[in-house]
Amino acid sequence: MDIDKKDELPLTTIVADVNQHRRRKRRRWICLSVIAVILAVALIILILALTVFKAKKPITTVNSVAIKDLHASFNLLPPRVSLNVSLDLDITIKNPNKVRVKFRNSSAVLFYKDQVIGDVPIPSREIGSDGTKQLNLTLTVFADRLLTNSDVYADLIRGNLPVSTYTRISGKARILNLFNVRIVSVSSCDLDISISSRRISNQSCH
């Protein structure tokens, strides 16, 4: 039985169709492979960001608070109080992250019954991966602010001045060189300054 030659395709056309089909298949396979690689990389980055490189708060530890200078005097007639107080604050900041952390300018503040009576600036700095920095700060009481509080006279007569320190350090950590994460560390200490013995009688830090 003869085959109608009109229904026959040229060999070159068949080969061209096969090659075109292979090219389409290859392009599809390449696209799927690229998508799979991108998804795998994104998944790895996400896992690392949530585990190894997860941003952690720096650990601020108040090692000690000591009286650097203390002078107090009383006059009954006329009633007058003179007070000069300076505290040495020894602080350690530990960066528990696997990346470096950049800290902004901060400050340590001294309070007397919720009233700010002194402060000292903390300059900006960097702490490397798992690094530690030690700060030695001097907090000086602003006597004019302190003596405007009527409670201070009774405390000074009793010979005990309750104060508290507050340190807040904020910064940012760059995770995998892709995005920044803001982190904040806070520490505080409640302490009593003994006027008679010129030392700190009680100290509780958090």
Cβ pair 119, 108 in contact under 8 A: yes
Are residues 176 and 125 part of one domain?
yes
Summarised one tens digit per residue, pLDDT across range 180-194 is 778 888 889 999 988
- Three-class SS string for 12-59? HHHHHHHHHHHHHHHHHHHHHHHHHHHHHHHHHHHHHHHCCCCCCCCE
Q: How far apart are CA 178 and CA 42, in angstroms?
A: 12
172: domain CATH number?
Answer: 2.60.40
Summarised one tens digit per residue, pLDDT across range 105-141 is 988 999 998 889 888 898 888 898 889 999 899 988 8
Are residues 114 and 200 part of one domain?
yes
Q: How far apart are CA 140 and CA 195, in angstroms?
A: 16
Total tally of structural domains belonging to the chain: 2
Give the pLDDT confidence score for residue 164 in this predicted structure: 92
Give the pLDDT confidence score for residue 52 in this predicted structure: 56
Give the pLDDT confidence score for residue 1 in this predicted structure: 47
For 159, counting Cβ atoms within 10 Å of its Cβ (0-12 exposed, 13-18 middle, 19+ buried), the class is: middle
Q: Which domain holds residue 176?
A: 59-205
pLDDT beneath 50, residues of the chain: 1, 3, 5-6
DSSP assigned state of 137: E
